[in-house]
Structure 1
Amino acid sequence: MEVAMVSTRASLLILILSLCSPYKFIQSPMDFGPLNLLPTTTTASSDFGRILFHSPAAVLRPQSSGDISMLLSFLSGSSLSKVTVAARGAGHSIHGLAQALDGIVVEMRSLPAEMEFHRGGEGQVSYADVSGGVMWIELLEQSLKLGLAPRSWTDYLYLTVGGTLSNAGISGQTFKHGPQISNVLQLEVVTGRGEIVKCSPSKDADLFNAVLGGLGQFGIITRARILLQEAPQKVTWVRAFYDDFSIFTRDQELLVSIPDLVDYVEGFIVLNEQSLHSSSIAFPATVDFSPDFGTKNSPKIYYCIEFAVHDYQHKNTNVHHLSQGSRQMRHMVSQLYSVEVSYFDFLNRVRMEEMSLRSVGLWEVHHPWLNMFVPKAGVADFRDLLMDKISPDSFEGLILIYPLRDRWDTNTSVVIPDSGSTDRAMYVVGILRSANPDPEDGCSHHCLQELLLRHRRIADTAGARLGAKQYLGHHPTPSGWHQHFGQRWEQFAERKARFDPLRILGPGQGILPRTQDVAAAAYGS
């Protein structure tokens, strides 16, 4: 053990000296134990967005929190080093947010996939202690063996625990249980200083709150204690279609107002045949719906509510009371469909769509996505803004839209809209566009840049007019981030100065770039 530690320390020292050298004398892949210098074709230079490709100088494949601590301690203790570090989970960032140009990428999936479960007795909570590199699908598979499961999810489960907690982690359960960051009891974090800290709402609470939704700016989550609940046996999964946006949103708000009866609520805009069929891949019921989408100059838009009720096989299960809510819904006549599936299959529904897209080569393409939090009062205006900026007949992808209730801890780093009223309800709108780069009939580089510019205009306009905020945000300049955080900017900057004073972490975000002046100030020179 001692020999291995000495070897790792020596590898780190050699690595840092090589990265700081003006001669860059290491030009080819070299093995440094858990540290590897890799060629520019490494997967650490790409992500799910396939928009930016920033090659790191090295990749760390840690075997413990100590490996990460050792790396950050070396970097924070060296006045010569300009090296930055980004933590990479399963590689599903969009705009290079887990990349580190000429820096070091920490592959969190290399951490041992440790999971320890604690079943609480009567009046006590159940939880799981898991490595930050564990994927939610792995946690689900193991917890279900005990009849337990986390309460809050993302739609796609092949994401790491540390990755989603660094953002927020939202899905159709958020209206009921809050985002994933509201369902974590404790964290182990390696700060930008290299310190390993266990934190919680009652111990080192400022670090705990900073890291949750902190975009990887304050520390790297190496372990998390996730709140668990009893897992249902089955799920009644329902879809209802609409041709009126106001009725669609009214019924969504009706469903989220009865959290004792409904467990999941989402919705999406049906723009064309492609969006209708692609969004039905995972829905195992026959949908007898053949809408008239109008013409290119006069398109007809439809909407779909998707909701679910958990069946615990108890006498008073919510399924038996579902009709109380559904009777008040005003969907299109005969356009309500339901099916019963296992809890696992429901939560893993997006995987089926992934497999379908992979089979036709449409998964590993450009994903110029835009996700927004929109105040409830402005959601109709946002819908109009959106329809002005896209072509329904040619749109490829999915547009999600569903309401969230006020279950957000404002002490965390996540930024949500300020509604200016006591009703802090908001909508999530996800423009999940795919852009196939096929050279013959796909989206060229110019086409991709046009889509990104269009999304930037939507985000800027919605922010200025409606007070909307980006989720999984991307801003091209530090001033854009300053505006994004608004009144919370000073708190964010102060936390950064305290937990990562040299601005080593999260360079891909571009929030507080590392400069020569920062390093000089940190060392009093």
Structure 2
Amino acid sequence: MPNVQRDNASCDFGRLSTRPPRSVVRPSSVAEISALFREPAPQGALDALPLPRGCGHSSRGESLTDGIAIDMRGLATIHEVTDDRVVVDAGATWREVLAATLAYQRMPPVLTDYLDLTVGGTLSAAGIGGASHIHGTQAANVMELEAVTHAGQIVTCSPTRRSRLFDALRSGMGRQGVITKASLRLIEAPERVLSYRALYDSAAELIAAQGRLVADHISGQAKSSDFELKAVLYDAGGAPPEGLSPIDVEELTFTDFADRLSPDVEKLIELGEWGLPHPWGQVILPAARAAAVIEQTMAETTSADLGFGGVVLVKRFTPGSVPMLGAPSDAVLFALLRTASPGCRAVSEMLLANDRLYQRAAAVGGVPYPPRPLSN
């Protein structure tokens, strides 16, 4: 059995609830995780399965348990990098993975905007990034998984081997077993990129542009008075995407582009915003119905509803073959990344606004993101 310790695993990034675990375990081997599922619970303990936890960046308490919390950061080895794949432990962060693959001029096809998340964590949610309109979610780019089942078995699965378990683990929110290792697809990495920015008057125009533009990375934000699109080309010598009328362009090294959120995060930490509650509301909508939901929601959303560090994301994408995500084939991520800043709406009011968003999404065939986990 691994060493048992207590840490701050009683809360997550959302800070909306507190759920102290009975114990926190940081395993250094897959065998130790297997042993956790085979050990009987102590007498009088709640009957909760051990739950994996990466960097605790969930926003609705998904990584919290009153049983055993498994700190996956003890398993963070990059095992192998080849031309077409990288094999990594689930507790490795995407920052660590990218550093290893860039040494070979390779990269995962889809990266999270924020790199300090674990591989196992985002694969358990699906993992949507700026390149998901081309490559699907991060979970759609997994070639093979190693996992520990709830019976304590250590197994390997893929699209052709134990495919039902493979599908259950990807976007399964850690409730279908514990991902311990992943073989991830790689593509060629650029050295420099060109980032173009354009503005649109409506959500419908933004979503339409995201669907027709040819670019390696596409993202969007809803601002107070307009909608902003960023289209990035992995070729610093390229022309603007056809049909785009950019208001400015920026050339960056790929490493600076991939880590573009770090300065913002450092500022939010300095201002104390990073440690505040984050009542995020995120849904995946059918592209054909998304604009109406977005426009209706934004019409009733003020700066006080978002908080000082709040951001609204709009991203059209193709999920790929990830059944547990439950997303339409042509989808739009609509995410209100709220912060309960001093002087802004109370957490309870932000959560009520999220409930209205979830109801609107469900009415048009949308789903929450990350998926609602099954009871542990």
Contact 2:91 2:120 in 1 (8 A): yes
Q: Are the equivalent residues in 2 in contact too, given 1:168–1:212 (CA < 8 A)?
A: yes
**Deviation at residue 116 of structure 1 after TM alignment:** 2.4
CA distance in 2, matches of 1:302, 1:34: 52
Question: Is 1:174 the equivalent of 2:132?
Answer: yes
**Structure 1 residues 379, 73: closer, same or farther in 2, change over 3 A?**
same
Aligned to 1:295: none
* 1:152 and 2:152 are equivalent in the alignment: no
Match of 2:3 in 1: 34
Matched, 1:218 2:171: no
- AA partner of residue 337 (structure 2): L
**Aligned-partner Cα distance in 1 for 2:87–2:145:** 9
Q: Report if aligned partners of 1:34, 1:63 keep a CA contact under 8 Å in 2.
A: no
Question: Shift in Å at residue 151 of structure 1?
Answer: 0.9
Task: Report the equivalent of 2:277.
Answer: 366
Q: Which residue of 2 aligns with 1:267?
A: 220
Partner of 2:232: 308
Normalising by structure 1, what TM-score? 0.68
Deviations 1:224-248 (A, max 9, x none): 1111111111111111122344333
Please list, as runs of the form range in 1=range in 2, the aligned pairs for 1:431-446 lying within 5 A after superposition: 431-436=336-341, 438=342, 441=343
* Alpha carbons of structure 1 residues 80 and 472: separation in structure 2 relative to 1, 3 Å: closer
Cα shift readout 1:396-420 (whole Å, capped 9, x = no counterpart): 3111112113x5215x321113xxx
Deviation at 1:252, TM superposition (A): 1.9
| Aligned-pair CA distance for 1:81 | 7.1
Count of equivalent residues = 374
**Displacement after TM superposition at 1:211 (Å):** 0.3
Q: Alignment partner for residue 359 of structure 2, among 460, 476, 480? A: 460
Larger radius of gyration: 1
Residue 442 (structure 1) shift: 5.3
CA distance in 2, matches of 1:78, 1:55: 18
User: In structure 2, do the counterparts of structure 1 residues 232 and 448 end up closer, same or farther at CA, with 3 Å as the change threshold?
Assistant: same
Q: In structure 1, the residue corresponding to 2:98 is in which secondary structure?
A: helix
Q: Secondary structure at the match of 1:210?
A: helix
Partner of 1:505: none
For residues 366 and 77 of structure 1, the distance between their equivalents in structure 2, rounded to whole angstroms, comes to 33
Task: Write the letter of the residue equivalent to 1:104.
Answer: I
Deviations 1:291-327 (A, max 9, x none): xxxxxxxxxx21110110002x7xxxxx43x34x34x
1:122-271 to 2 correspondence within 5 Å? 126-255=84-213, 258=214, 262-271=215-224
Structure-2 separation of matches of 1:80 and 1:239? 54
Fraction of identical pairs, as percent: 31
Q: Does 1:409 align with 2:321?
A: yes
Q: What do residues 230-277 of structure 1 show as CA deviations (whole Å, max 9, x unaligned)?
A: 11111111111223443333322221xx3xxx1001110111xxxxxx
Counterpart contact for 1:389–1:458, Cα < 8 Å = no
Q: Which runs of 5+ in 1 are unaligned?
A: 1-7, 9-32, 121-125, 272-300, 314-318, 418-423, 475-508, 514-525
Q: 1:200 to 1:54 in 2, by over 3 A?
A: same
Q: Tell me how far apart the structure 1 counterparts of residues 173 and 300 of structure 2 sit (CA, whole Å).
A: 28
Aligned to 1:45, the other structure's residue is in SS state coil
Aligned to 2:60: 95
Q: For residue 134 of structure 2, give the secondary structure of its aligned residue in structure 1.
A: helix
Distance 1:75 1:163 in 2: 26
**Which letter maps to 2:161?**
K
Matched, 1:59 2:17: no
Tell me which amino acid in the other structure corresponds to 2:36: L
Q: Does 1:115 align with 2:68?
A: no
Query: Is 1:105 the equivalent of 2:18?
Result: no
Once the two structures are superposed, what CA deviation does each residue of 1:155-203 show, in whole Å capped at 9, x if it has no partner? 1110000001101011110011111111111111001111000111121
CA change 1:55–1:238 in 2 (3 A) is same
**Which structure 2 segments of 5+ residues have no match?**
none
Q: Which amino acid aligns with 1:426?
A: A
- Given the superposition, is the C-alpha separation of residues 218 and 241 from structure 1 closer, same or farther in structure 2, using an over 3 Å criterion? same
1:288-299 → structure 2 map (5 Å cutoff) = none
Asked whether the equivalents of residues 385 and 458 of structure 1 are also in contact (C-alpha less than 8 Å), the reply is no
SS in 2 for 1:153: coil
Measured on the aligned residues, the alpha-carbon RMSD in Å equals 2.1
The answer as to whether partners of 2:305 and 2:350 remain within 8 angstroms in 1 is no
Q: Secondary structure at the match of 1:349?
A: coil
TM-score under structure 2 length normalisation = 0.93
CA distance, structure 2, for counterparts of residue 96 and residue 462 of structure 1? 21
Between Structure 1 and Structure 2, the one with more helix by share is 1
